Structure 1
Amino acid sequence: MSSTESETPTSEVTSTATKPPAPLPLLGRLGAFCARHPVWVVASWLVVLLAGLAGRNVVGAVYSDQVSLPGTQSARGADLLKASDPTAGDPSGRVVFHVGSGTVSGHGSGMADSVSRLAKMPHVTAASSPVTSSDGRTAYTTVSFDQQIKDLGHGYKGTLDEATAPAEADGVQVAYGGDLDSIVRTPQKDAVSEGAGVAAALVVLLLAFGSVAAAVMPLVTALVSVGVGMGVVGIVAGSVTFATSAPTLAVMMGLGVGIDYALFLTTRFRQDLMDGHAPEQAAGRTAATSGHAVLVAAVTVAIALLSLYACGLSLIGKLGLAATVAVLVTATAALTLVPAALGLVGRRIDRLHVRRPTAETGGDHDGWHRYAALVSRHPWRFLTAGVVLLAVCAVPLFSMRLGHVDDGADPAGSTTRDAYHWIADAPGPGFGPGANGPMVVVVDVQHASGSSAEVATDVSDALRKTSGVAHVTPLRPSRDSRVLVGTLTPSSGPQDALTSGLYTELTGRTLPMAVRGTGAKAYLTGSTAGQLDFRDLVTARLPIIIGIVLAAAFLLLMTVFRSLLIPLKAVLLNLLTTGASYGVLVAAFQWGWGDKILGLTEPVPIESYVPMMMFAIVFGLSMDYEIFLLSRVAETWQESKDNARAVAVGLSLTGRVISSAALIMTVVFLSFTASPTVVIKMLALGLAVSVILDATVVRLVLVPSAMLLVGKANWWLPRRLDRVLPHLHA
């Protein structure tokens, strides 16, 4: 008996002629309804698209990468400083002036006029006198504000440009650095990346289907759903401040999963048409089967992304929320818009084609069945080879260094990069690489046993003797004399490993030893200190996220497939995939192996929250392919109770479409490595590597070999547990 006999047109036609079709479940009825009323459904989605895009423009979305870190030593220092001198902790940024030749003093009138105008800008409390480098070519003024700089909005950059216009007119170059980056950096639209991803996806779809309509339909429906998702994210951003990378992440996720979901549904629909079903019936059957898999996959991704809130850091949680919105919108489109489009096209889906359309499988002796037979003869060899390959890719993971990618890694020609390098390359106190990441020393002397002067001397001496400290200003009392305040300049840049080590040394040993026995308490605060505290928090809470995602995925898969070993295997294999993608990320960015390809000028640390984000996203996406493959394997298992045959049929029915879907998602993600934002480059490369590894090594090698080795035990579930677990049938 053919392993795909139930899938052949003759078999289907005969069965439908001799007995009435079984009633469709809820998702099937929804799909059939959308196929019966395609015009209304498509029109509704277009109206929602226009409303979402219009709403996004009306609310005035605000994006910022600033984060609150209550309870950390940098936050305690900032709170002390603010309580002692309300103006000392005002948000501030730098306006940097530079000349290619001569000195800035030769353009004194233009600079003086600009500094005067900066001080008079709305919400500015002060603009300091310019600090000039030893060679006289660079100077900067610190501009303080009465509110968070991010709240001023990106339109405030025009006000800055007007204020600095006299200096530029006098031949002085001007750039903005420090915390001003939150308003001079606009959210990246990455239009080139998105266009390249869409074009590459279209080529893959044409090669996979051979049909123009079948290739264009997943792409168009995905683009509509991404547009709606972006509208929703933009509207939410009117009241919830997302990170600047949130819109790009949402597009990247929505486009990738949107095309994949539509691809799986379209493939199943075409197969049902070939099997003799009417278009409306085929759309209903597709929604009931592949649509159910889409729903489970989307819920898995959403759970993984929303688990990021468990880290307690709103910046990361909101990134997960933005991506979740995109995924849920695309899943909704897959369950409604795609069946409507399929019903609208109907049997005309293969009318225009670049090659002869083919069914999902060619039968018992197709290439996928032969491959499954090969794996069944050598399961241990395939399993060992796959595990070794992933383990080798994961080796660099053990040297991962988390940190914050500083402004020096911004795109060439950007104002933030110019400001960074003008200060880093200039000589003199207040300049050099560490001047881009100074730390504020705050010493609480309210309960000190000795005099403030003695404490100041002890702390200053200890700091100056610490290796890696370039300069320390004298510690001076605040207005109310409750704290001592000074500025420490490291000898290395903010993202350097030396700065990270210096911070650990200062907070863990130097400062505590300097004030020991005096009753005083010393802290480091400022942007660089906050970023390093943020890194430490993320590192400490990553195991919590991993635990939540693993537990949620295990429970969901156990409930769907009624098995203990299948979800356990999925969890372990996906951990291998994640580890391998981490390793590639370290080699490409931290080791510098991918600098030229990725458009970077130097190796950079792994952005502190990228591993946490990647784990949630990678785990969710890898479950997509796991669910689509195992859904087909489980269907055959329920019919035949033959594990080897179930694995072979599952591979045969999904091998081509999973490979195509993975290739599409990979090229979409890789296209975003052209983004000027380094964090987006990291996420894009990491996700692309994880998807291709998951769809090839894991899904085509490790899963079938492991399932063949385990045999019927794959489907074992204790009866008591089976009775307790709910039955998820949509």
Structure 2
Amino acid sequence: MSLPPAPLSLAPVPVAPRTSALHRTGAFCARHAVWVIAAWLLVLVAAFAGRHAVGATFGDQVTLPGSQATSGADLLARSDPAAGAAGGKVVLHVDSGKVSDHAAALEETLGRLRALPHVTAVAAPVTSSDGATAYTAVSFDRKLKSLGHAYTERLDQATTPAREAGIGVGYGGDLHEIVRAPADDAVAEATGVGAALIVLLLAFGSVAAALMPLLTALVSVGVGLGVVGIVAGTLTFATSAPTLATMIGLGVGIDYALFLITRFRQYLIDGDDPRTAVGRTTAVSGKAVLVAAVTVAVALLSLYACGLTMIGRLGLAATIAVVVTAAAALTLVPAAMGLVGRRVDVLRVRRRPVAESAGDHDGWHRYARLVARYPWRFFTAGFVLVALCAIPLFSMRLGHIDDGADPAGSTTRDAYDWIADAGGPGFGPGVNGPFTLVVDLAHATVSADRVAGRLTGGLTGTHGVARVTPPRTSPDGKVLVTTVVPATGPQSADTGALFATLTDTAVPHALEGTGTRGYLTGSTAGQLEFRDTVTERLPLIIAIVLVCAFLLLAVVFRSLVIPLKAVALNLLTTGASYGVLVAVFQWGWGDGLLGLGEAVPIESYVPMMMFAIVFGLSMDYEIFLLSRIAEEWHATGDNERSVGTGLSLTGRVITCAALIMTAVFLSFTGSPAVVVKMLALGLAVSVVLDATVVRLVLVPSLMFLMGRANWWLPGWLDRRLPRWTV
């Protein structure tokens, strides 16, 4: 199938109705540009002041009501509060000799630890078989996260005698909640902004046009972060929520402004005065921005359907950033365009300004004709490339990234390695992530001693168990508590398999006929249950997002084929980005470039988050491309001409937008948080594939192949669907 011999002509830019609300909004902002910009700056200051006033809190505590881990923790807290108290390990290590050779320094360190505020107990040190490593368990009277990172200085002061004696000190267990400093992503943000500026300069060819989308995006992201902080005064967001909101807000903020300013420059080139151009731009491209933002927001808010509060709130934080960014795109950007006017091309870095198209014979028109001539070849090549990227997906292993993935030389990594590498009872990889088994004796039909004996005998021989501590009865006699130490580390697949064995067979069989029930609890058990819950509910999230996106696109583009194709290709993009994550993080391909010391599993909630975000962002490009195709289709009814013209008009700006968003996301791979690295790389890969292979190869080739069938919609359905077009 090929286009007519005559070259594609540039579609007439539609005249936006001057009575539309968006047109009036854009025109108003252009007329009162200074006041609108001042109002946004005032909102920015107020948002940060409000964030500071409410005292935003962030934490990664995950609770699953009714789960084994939660039920066991509740039982333990009621019967033996001291056993369920928050705590961690202070690990001591010497390269030569024994820790006990420094007895005076060790005793002084233990005394200082006991004197720390909120410390309730410091256990006697457990020493390795060679004496080179020892650790003491420290208990606290409150959740460690509430103590804040500033408490690390108190720990360092308490352990100073040990350090001065030449003993290495590390902080293990849940002490990472205190010791790990909040991720400082300032360098990543600056890198992303710098890379975006370079791409904008190359795309627009003038300093003024390049700075507008960047500055407006920075203002909107600042307001978004302030609002997230204010909301965090009531709801506790995950620690990665601000970084996620920054990534999404900065990426879509620049993109939305880029699409608006590109259309604005085209109107100026066509002869409109600046204020008229702003009104028309906001009415036409602004509607596409609005639909795109709604699509992203729906995808992100669908995360609440998984029933996991932490995941839903991550989606809420990102949604806040997107909503604020869209509001800025429809008000602040028009104000900036109205203020700059025809001076948008001052300080040029190249001779010819770039708008939507360089003419009927530019490279994008020639490329569109080439795709139309060989649609099967382009579709096959694009599909094979994306499918190859998706292959590693089938070996994805979800899990939790433990302290063993922390940077080498950090106190948490040192503590993890010293415990894992040492020999003797109380040491080994599994000590870094033990299971606490709590047995409810309320309805026991045998004595507690008999239950303890059956537990010890039944669990000791279980494959994957390194050690089972002697069970002990709580002070009130209502529960029995023991610790099951795996032979492998917390993030190992074998530890996950052991958890399933213990919960499904080993513990129930050991307690059979005793009238009791056992619950595995602790951090590792909670993370594994969280992983299983996420895996179980991911299909629900996928189904909700797909159905919502399908319905939205069917209403907007008056077609059943276009939304079906869109959701199928977006699934393909998501699968490819998952595959790249598995290859890099799980298989270890290039993990050294990301500062990882070892291969790690895919963090359990990353695929769910990525699906919602990737789907939302990819729909942005789908809507911007299809809205241009639809404009020409409604004007001419010629599918080939519509697809070719839409591709030529949006190819340049979609490519530039993708480069900007990719640069922003890739800059966050320098974050110290491994989860942020995963999200950043996955999002960057998905944007690159979606904006190039999918949006510029697969979509047009399929639309050329399907012809007029692209726009098929049964008459009865057309009459019932609401009228909302872009």
User: What TM-score does the superposition give when structure 2 sets the normalisation length?
Assistant: 0.96
The answer to whether the Cα contact below 8 Å between 2:8 and 2:365 also exists between their aligned partners in 1 is no
What's the CA shift string for 1:301-344, capped at 9, x where partnerless?
11111111111111111111111111111111111111111111
1:678 maps to what in 2? 674
The answer to whether the Cα contact below 8 Å between 2:80 and 2:474 also exists between their aligned partners in 1 is yes
The equivalent position to 2:553 in structure 1, one of 549, 553, 557, is 557
The answer to whether the Cα contact below 8 Å between 1:200 and 1:668 also exists between their aligned partners in 2 is yes
Whether 2:275 is the aligned partner of 1:280: answer yes
Cα gap change, 1:656 to 1:251, in 2 (>3 Å):
same
Q: CA deviation at 1:194?
A: 1.2
Q: CA deviation at 1:637?
A: 0.7
1:353 maps to what in 2? 348
Q: CA deviation at 1:399?
A: 0.5
Whether 2:185 is the aligned partner of 1:201: answer no
Q: CA deviation at 1:24?
A: 4.1
Whether 2:242 is the aligned partner of 1:247: answer yes
Whether 2:167 is the aligned partner of 1:172: answer yes
Q: CA deviation at 1:5?
A: 5.0
The equivalent position to 1:301 in structure 2, one of 291, 296, 302, is 296
User: Does 504-513 or 606-615 show the bigger shift?
Assistant: 504-513
Whether 2:364 is the aligned partner of 1:368: answer yes
The answer to whether the Cα contact below 8 Å between 1:181 and 1:416 also exists between their aligned partners in 2 is yes
Q: CA deviation at 1:6?
A: 5.0
1:329 maps to what in 2? 324
What's the CA shift string for 1:115-173, capped at 9, x where partnerless?
33333333332222222222222222222222222222333333333333343344433
1:186 maps to what in 2? 181
Q: In structure 1, the residue corresponding to 2:172 is in which secondary structure? A: strand
The answer to whether the Cα contact below 8 Å between 2:197 and 2:210 also exists between their aligned partners in 1 is yes
The answer to whether the Cα contact below 8 Å between 1:401 and 1:606 also exists between their aligned partners in 2 is yes
The answer to whether the Cα contact below 8 Å between 1:24 and 1:288 also exists between their aligned partners in 2 is no
The answer to whether the Cα contact below 8 Å between 2:89 and 2:175 also exists between their aligned partners in 1 is yes
User: Does 635-644 or 708-717 show the bigger shift?
Assistant: 708-717
The answer to whether the Cα contact below 8 Å between 1:127 and 1:142 also exists between their aligned partners in 2 is yes
Q: CA deviation at 1:525?
A: 1.1
1:389 maps to what in 2? 385
Q: In structure 2, the residue corresponding to 1:239 is in which secondary structure? A: coil
The answer to whether the Cα contact below 8 Å between 2:555 and 2:725 also exists between their aligned partners in 1 is no
Q: Distance in 2 between matches of 1:354 and 1:213?
A: 10
Q: CA deviation at 1:481?
A: 2.0
User: Does 207-216 or 49-58 show the bigger shift?
Assistant: 49-58
1:504 maps to what in 2? 500
1:99 maps to what in 2? 94
Q: Distance in 1 between matches of 2:227 and 2:539?
A: 31
Q: CA deviation at 1:549?
A: 0.7
2:22 maps to what in 1? 27
Whether 2:68 is the aligned partner of 1:73: answer yes
Give the gaps of 5 or more residues in structure 2.
1-5
1:663 maps to what in 2? 659
1:596 maps to what in 2? 592
Cα gap change, 1:172 to 1:26, in 2 (>3 Å):
same
Q: Which amino acid aligns with 1:304?
A: A
The answer to whether the Cα contact below 8 Å between 1:189 and 1:248 also exists between their aligned partners in 2 is no
1:55 maps to what in 2? 50
Q: Distance in 2 between matches of 1:450 and 1:22?
A: 82
Q: Which amino acid aligns with 2:688?
A: I
The answer to whether the Cα contact below 8 Å between 2:11 and 2:645 also exists between their aligned partners in 1 is no
Q: Distance in 2 between matches of 1:512 and 1:22?
A: 70
Q: Distance in 2 between matches of 1:488 and 1:517?
A: 22
Cα gap change, 1:3 to 1:282, in 2 (>3 Å):
farther
What's the CA shift string for 1:646-704, capped at 9, x where partnerless?
10110011000000100111111111111111101110111011000001111011111
The answer to whether the Cα contact below 8 Å between 1:96 and 1:140 also exists between their aligned partners in 2 is yes
Q: Which amino acid aligns with 1:313?
A: L
Q: How many residues align structurally?
A: 720
Q: Distance in 1 between matches of 2:88 and 2:683?
A: 34
Q: CA deviation at 1:544?
A: 1.0
Cα gap change, 1:47 to 1:100, in 2 (>3 Å):
farther
User: Does 451-460 or 701-710 show the bigger shift?
Assistant: 451-460
- Within-5 A mapping of 1:93-492: 93-356=88-351, 357-492=353-488
The answer to whether the Cα contact below 8 Å between 1:24 and 1:285 also exists between their aligned partners in 2 is no
Q: What percentage of residue pairs aligned between the two structures are identical?
A: 69
Q: Distance in 2 between matches of 1:6 and 1:395?
A: 40
Q: In structure 2, the residue corresponding to 1:411 is in which secondary structure? A: coil
Q: CA deviation at 1:22?
A: 4.1
Q: Distance in 1 between matches of 2:48 and 2:171?
A: 31
The answer to whether the Cα contact below 8 Å between 1:28 and 1:288 also exists between their aligned partners in 2 is yes
Cα gap change, 1:623 to 1:22, in 2 (>3 Å):
closer
Q: CA deviation at 1:407?
A: 0.7
Give the gaps of 5 or more residues in structure 1.
none
Q: CA deviation at 1:517?
A: 2.4
Cα gap change, 1:419 to 1:363, in 2 (>3 Å):
same
Q: Distance in 2 between matches of 1:58 and 1:425?
A: 46
2:622 maps to what in 1? 626
Q: Distance in 2 between matches of 1:207 and 1:94?
A: 53
CA-atom RMSD in angstroms = 1.8
Q: Which amino acid aligns with 1:268?
A: R
Q: Which amino acid aligns with 1:372?
A: A
The answer to whether the Cα contact below 8 Å between 1:91 and 1:149 also exists between their aligned partners in 2 is yes
Cα gap change, 1:262 to 1:435, in 2 (>3 Å):
same
User: Does 44-53 or 595-604 show the bigger shift?
Assistant: 44-53
Q: Distance in 1 between matches of 2:545 and 2:101?
A: 61
The equivalent position to 2:525 in structure 1, one of 525, 529, 535, is 529
Q: Distance in 2 between matches of 1:269 and 1:704?
A: 25
Q: Distance in 2 between matches of 1:233 and 1:445?
A: 45
What's the CA shift string for 1:562-610, capped at 9, x where partnerless?
1111111110100000001101110111011121221111110000000
Q: Which amino acid aligns with 1:354?
A: V
Q: In structure 2, the residue corresponding to 1:44 is in which secondary structure? A: helix
Q: CA deviation at 1:189?
A: 2.3
Cα gap change, 1:362 to 1:24, in 2 (>3 Å):
farther
The answer to whether the Cα contact below 8 Å between 1:2 and 1:363 also exists between their aligned partners in 2 is no
What's the CA shift string for 1:242-274, capped at 9, x where partnerless?
111111111111111111111111111111100
Q: In structure 1, the residue corresponding to 2:679 is in which secondary structure? A: helix
Q: Distance in 1 between matches of 2:525 and 2:425?
A: 20
Q: Distance in 2 between matches of 1:335 and 1:186?
A: 37
Cα gap change, 1:124 to 1:673, in 2 (>3 Å):
same
Q: Which amino acid aligns with 1:648?
A: G
Q: Distance in 1 between matches of 2:224 and 2:382?
A: 37
Q: Which amino acid aligns with 2:229?
A: G
Q: In structure 2, the residue corresponding to 1:430 is in which secondary structure? A: coil
Q: Which amino acid aligns with 2:297?
A: A
Q: CA deviation at 1:436?
A: 0.5
Cα gap change, 1:415 to 1:493, in 2 (>3 Å):
same
Q: In structure 1, the residue corresponding to 2:159 is in which secondary structure? A: helix
Q: Which amino acid aligns with 2:219?
A: V
Q: Distance in 2 between matches of 1:572 and 1:485?
A: 51
The answer to whether the Cα contact below 8 Å between 1:268 and 1:286 also exists between their aligned partners in 2 is yes
Q: CA deviation at 1:88?
A: 1.9
